[in-house]
């Protein structure tokens, strides 16, 4: 038969085991939290970098669109000038 002292020792041992398990879970949770915080910071940095890249790409696309429009307009003018010259030569010949 167990004595009161043995029962108390068993209860204390069980309580210590539970406390150690809880501390282990808490340590794992802290590592997971720290890891998630690091990952969130990295994602934030990536987001900022990608936003900057997108802004630059949009600005470049706008510039290219403007240049394309200007080139198209100048080509149309050049073709019209060539037509006029060809017609003048055909009419004058």
Rounded to 10 degrees, the C-alpha dihedral 43/45/48/49 comes to -110
pLDDT in tens, 35-80: 889 999 999 999 999 999 999 999 999 999 999 999 999 999 999 9
Model pLDDT for residues 5-17, shown as the tens digit of each residue: 889 999 999 999 9
Which helix (H) or strand (E) element contains residue 39?
helix 4-92
Residue 3 φ/ψ, nearest 5 degrees:
-90, 170
How many angstroms separate the CA atoms of 69 and 86, rounded?
26
pTM: 0.54
Distance CA 44, CA 51 (A): 10
């Amino acid at each position: 038969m167990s004595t009161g002292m043995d029962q108390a020792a068993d209860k204390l041992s069980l309580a210590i085991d539970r406390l150690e398990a809880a501390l282990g879970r808490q340590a794992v949770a802290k590592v997971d939290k720290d890891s998630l915080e690091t990952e969130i910071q990295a994602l934030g940095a990536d987001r900022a970098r990608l936003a900057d890249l997108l802004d630059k790409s949009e600005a470049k696309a706008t510039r290219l669109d403007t240049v394309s429009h200007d080139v198209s307009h100048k080509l149309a003018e050049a073709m019209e000038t060539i037509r006029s010259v060809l017609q003048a030569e055909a009419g004058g010949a």
